[in-house]
């Protein structure tokens, strides 16, 4: 299997390039400014290192998101799940999930730490986990198994995390590092940023997904990542994950430039 990228441009693009293949200060700035569709770093982790991570992961039990359909298995905790709970519910669980992630990385490097180090050295700003004053540090470094598909959606804290410090994430990026071999399971990013005024009416009922009418005629970029590859995109843009054959396990989080540092959370 080889990585493939498909560019589907139907109209003039804001993206100067569909994809950058190096993670640098320039490419990150372009991703923040929505001038590039994705940053794709092949072989960020070696094949053997991914295997060692997965071996260790498999000794640790995994849960599923509550009420997410199709089901998405995961280890770690997300701010998204805190909806309907108070902040303590989330922050009380951060340390045990962070410890679990450290345990999972006994045989390999820690994906979160490696991505944070790479981003810190690329852009010269401090990389750290996001902080919630009076509560503590956010969890970052979710491990997800997306078996079916992930519906069309956008991840954008200023809208989805009102009243939390991450709502100051004016531009929100996502990274994902793929730990297994699978077929299908492409990630597709549309050149369509979520817009408060026009887009909520496309939200599907009782779901995190949105109707495809929202992205009809929009440019998009599809990438089929391979084991060990790192992919970054601007998560305010609508995106989706295609059904995978085989096991599709990835590590990932969001990050943004907040108060002159690069802050990470899941």
Interaction site with ligand AKG (CB under 6 A)? 146, 150, 155, 174, 176, 187, 235, 239, 241, 250, 252
Q: How far is the CB of 154 from ligand AKG (least distance, A)?
A: 9
Segment contacting Fe ion by CB under 5 A, of 101-109, 147-155, 165-173, 257-265: 147-155
Question: Which of 51, 155, 229, 240 contacts Fe ion by CB under 5 A?
Answer: 155
Q: Which does 172 bind (CB under 5 to 8 A by kind): Fe ion, ligand AKG, none?
A: none
3-state SS class at 169: coil
State the first-to-last Cα distance of the chain, in angstroms, to the nearest integer.
Answer: 30
Pick from 218, 255, 226, 220: nearest CA to 240: 220
Closer residue to ligand AKG, CB minimum distance, 135 or 160: 160
Closer residue to ligand AKG, CB minimum distance, 219 or 234: 234
Contact 232, 223 (CB under 8 A): no
Q: Does 49 bind Fe ion (CB under 5 A)?
A: no
Segment contacting Fe ion by CB under 5 A, of 138-146, 153-161, 204-212, 249-257: 153-161
CB closest to ligand AKG, residue no? 187
Contacts of 88 (CB under 8 A, 6+ apart): 135
The vertex-202 CA angle with 185 and 154, nearest 5°, equals 45
Closer residue to ligand AKG, CB minimum distance, 141 or 252: 252
Please list, residue by residue across 100-111, b when 16 or more beta carbons sit within 10 angstroms of its beta carbon and e when fewer do. bbeebbeebebb
DSSP assignments along 63-86, one per residue: EE-TT-SS-EEEES--GGGGTTS-
Closer residue to ligand AKG, CB minimum distance, 94 or 142: 142
Q: How far is the CB of 238 from ligand AKG (least distance, A)?
A: 10
Q: How far is the CB of 115 from ligand AKG (least distance, A)?
A: 12
136/102 Cα distance (integer angstroms): 18
3-state SS class at 122: helix
Q: How far is the CB of 240 from Fe ion (least distance, A)?
A: 8
Q: Does 186 bind Fe ion (CB under 5 A)?
A: no
CB closest to Fe ion, residue no? 155
Q: How far is the CB of 90 from Fe ion (least distance, A)?
A: 18
Helix 87-104 to helix 47-57 angle, to the nearest 10 degrees? Answer: 120
Closer residue to Fe ion, CB minimum distance, 108 or 254: 254
Q: How far is the CB of 160 from ligand AKG (least distance, A)?
A: 12
CB-facing half-sphere around the CA of 262: CA atoms within 13 A:
25
Q: How far is the CB of 253 from ligand AKG (least distance, A)?
A: 8
Q: Which does 176 bind (CB under 5 to 8 A by kind): Fe ion, ligand AKG, none?
A: ligand AKG
Cis peptide before 70 (omega within 30 of 0): yes
CA 92 to chain centre: 23
Q: Find tokens 């997800």 and name the residue.
A: 144
Binding site for Fe ion (CB under 5 A): 155
């Amino acid at each position: 299997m080889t990585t493939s990228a498909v560019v589907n441009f139907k109209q003039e693009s804001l993206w100067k390039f569909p994809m950058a293949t190096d993670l640098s200060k320039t490419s990150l700035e372009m991703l923040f400014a929505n001038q590039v569709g994705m940053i794709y770093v092949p072989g960020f982790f070696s094949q053997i290192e991914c295997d060692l991570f997965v071996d260790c992961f498999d000794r640790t039990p995994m849960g599923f998101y509550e009420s997410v359909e199709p089901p998405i298995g995961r280890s770690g905790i997300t701010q998204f799940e805190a909806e309907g709970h108070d902040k303590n519910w989330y922050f009380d669980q951060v340390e045990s999930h962070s410890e679990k992630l450290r345990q999972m990385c006994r045989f390999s490097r820690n994906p979160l730490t490696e991505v944070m180090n790479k981003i810190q050295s690329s852009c010269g700003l401090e990389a750290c986990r996001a902080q919630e004053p009076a509560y503590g540090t956010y969890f970052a470094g979710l491990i997800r198994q997306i078996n079916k598909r992930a519906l069309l959606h956008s991840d954008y804290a200023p809208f989805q995390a009102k009243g939390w410090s991450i709502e100051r994430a004016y531009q929100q990026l996502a990274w994902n590092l793929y730990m297994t071999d699978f077929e299908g399971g492409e990630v597709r990013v549309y050149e369509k940023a979520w817009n408060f005024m026009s887009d909520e009416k496309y939200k599907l009922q009782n779901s995190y997904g949105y109707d495809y009418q929202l992205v009809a005629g929009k440019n998009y970029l599809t990438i089929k990542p391979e084991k060990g590859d790192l992919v970054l995109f601007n998560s305010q843009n609508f995106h989706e994950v295609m059904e995978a054959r085989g096991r599709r396990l990835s590590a990932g989080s969001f990050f943004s430039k907040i108060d002159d540092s690069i802050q990470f959370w899941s």
